[in-house]
Amino acid sequence: MNSDPRESLSRRRFVELASVGSAAAMLKTPSGLAAEAVVPLSEAYPLLTPADEFYDVSRGKPVPHSLTGDALKEAGLTPETWRLDIAADTAVDPPVIQIPAQVEQPLSIDYPTLLEMGKTHGVKYIKAMQCLNISEPLGQGLWEGVLLSDVLRLCGEIEHVRRIYYRGFHNNDPKQIFQSSVSYTQAMETPPGELPVILAYKLNGEPLSLERGGPVRMLVPWAHGFKSIKWLQQIFLTNDYRTNDTYALQNNDPESYLKTAAYIDGGPAQIRAGEAATIRGQVISGISGVARVETLLQQVVGDDADIPDEKGDWKEATIQSPPDWKKSLPKGILSADLLGFDAKTGEPSSWPLRYATAGWGATYPNLARGSYLIFARSVDQNGFAQPEPRAIRKSGKNMLQSHRVEVV
């Protein structure tokens, strides 16, 4: 959210000093210990984040996942009471909308019907959740659901529809509506090798928890979290080609893609001369993919930090190896069953996985006494080093981060 405390980290121009304390707390590890960073990357960064350990970004008063008992049933947020309504938005607004959208068969689908569809049409993929306004990814899951395109096909003939917008439960209070949208094309067509928009009802092999947006949540793989509407209940098909995202009204670029970026999670605050400084973090693969992660060591005086030279002494960091899929996926789920993996070999089409995170680590041995900043950056498949490509800040956070180490 815009008020997230992690947005006000101290900065000097484009340099973002990572707050190791808050990030380490997220990982539930002690901060500032040399030993901490030495934990193997595979242990520090398990493939899947347990559903209740995602960093939660939810609006509404009360937040829908705090409802219980009858209130939860009245909200339509139990598997027995949940329904998804799909209808045309028939508004006209010349010259933008000249002809109203038409939907042959408006629908109201219940949870068992959606699950039944999933038996023949279900898909699974791994994706990290990341907020446009918070640097660190919120968590990573194995999501399962049915394609938005398959659900829309149930509506029969649809005409004059250029955009799909959708909302979740909002306490029956129009002021609390939080909605998002995709274009008709994005909903209906998926480029080969890309991941489709789905209506997700499972996370990590379990029914999607209320906190993560259950019974059913929209999942837009290439986008930041605000497109992945939780507690999904309504879909409108409209001839208004403009984005209808609540996030757009909050000064965010509603059409942004996930950005490739490396983030720093932890490292020692203080070490003794001659000891090694090992830092680590996560890299997220955005629309432009990940080629590598690099780090740069810079000696500093006082509190001043300069932007490191793009062509400076950047060294390639180690990216976590792909995990043992059998051990990392929920029981009974094979990597070959997942989108983004080869159906025969079970190998992923890229590593790090598309729209997912992996851990990275770097070690600087034998540091002499002094103060240092260690910077980290990703380099994408187009050869761009973070923070490039640098669009406006309201299209996702990919500022350069650094970690400070005192060698005493």
Residue 375 interacting partner from Mo ion, ligand MTE, none (CB closer than 5 to 8 Å by kind): none
Residue 268 interacting partner from ligand MTE, Mo ion, none (CB closer than 5 to 8 Å by kind): none
Per CB under 6 A, 127 contacts ligand MTE? no
Per CB under 6 A, 54 contacts ligand MTE? yes
Angle at 96 (CA atoms; ends 93, 100), nearest 5 degrees: 55
Residue 229 interacting partner from Mo ion, ligand MTE, none (CB closer than 5 to 8 Å by kind): ligand MTE
The token pair at 238 is 């409209």
Q: Which of residues 171-190 bind ligand MTE (CB under 6 A)?
A: 178
Sequence-ordered list of residues with C-beta below 8 angstroms from that of 272, at least 6 positions apart, any chain: 407, 408
Whole-number Cα distances in Å, 94 to 97, 99, 160, 380: 5, 9, 14, 42
Closest CB to ligand MTE belongs to which residue?
225
Per CB under 6 A, 168 contacts ligand MTE? yes
C-alpha torsion angle, residues 325, 48, 42, 225 (rounded to 10): 120
Per CB under 5 A, 396 contacts Mo ion? no
Member of 221, 225, 308, 352 binding Mo ion (CB under 5 A): 225
121-153 in b/e burial notation, b at 16+ Cβ within 10 A? Answer: bbbbbbbbbbbbbbbbbbbbbbbbbbbbbbbbe
Q: Which backbone phi and psi does 4 adopt, to 5 degrees?
A: -60, 130
Residue 56 interacting partner from Mo ion, ligand MTE, none (CB closer than 5 to 8 Å by kind): ligand MTE
Sequence-ordered list of residues with C-beta below 8 angstroms from that of 156, at least 6 positions apart, any chain: 103, 104, 105
DSSP states of 332-349: T--GGGSTTB-TTT--BS
What is the distance between the alpha carbons of residues 298 and 6, in angstroms, rounded to a whole number? 24
Per CB under 5 A, 131 contacts Mo ion? yes
226/364 with CB nearer Mo ion: 226
Member of 125, 231, 360, 372 binding ligand MTE (CB under 6 A): 231
What is the distance between the alpha carbons of residues 93 and 240, in angstroms, rounded to a whole number? 8
Q: Which stretch binds ligand MTE (CB under 6 A): 50-58, 107-115, 257-265, 274-282?
A: 50-58
Closest to 51 measured CA to CA, from 65, 68, 63, 36: 65
Member of 57, 72, 248, 276 binding ligand MTE (CB under 6 A): 57
Angle at 230 (CA atoms; ends 60, 186), nearest 5 degrees: 130
Per CB under 6 A, 260 contacts ligand MTE? no
Per CB under 6 A, 268 contacts ligand MTE? no
Residue 236 interacting partner from ligand MTE, Mo ion, none (CB closer than 5 to 8 Å by kind): none
Helices (H) and strands (E) in the chain, counts: 7, 23
Member of 26, 38, 57, 333 binding Mo ion (CB under 5 A): 57
Q: Which stretch binds ligand MTE (CB under 6 A): 13-21, 118-126, 227-235, 357-365?
A: 227-235
166/360 with CB nearer ligand MTE: 166
Q: Which stretch binds ligand MTE (CB under 6 A): 225-233, 326-334, 341-349, 362-370?
A: 225-233
Chain contacts with ligand MTE (rule: CB under 6 A): 54-59, 129, 131, 138-139, 168, 178, 212-213, 225-226, 228-231
Chain contacts with Mo ion (rule: CB under 5 A): 57, 131, 225-226
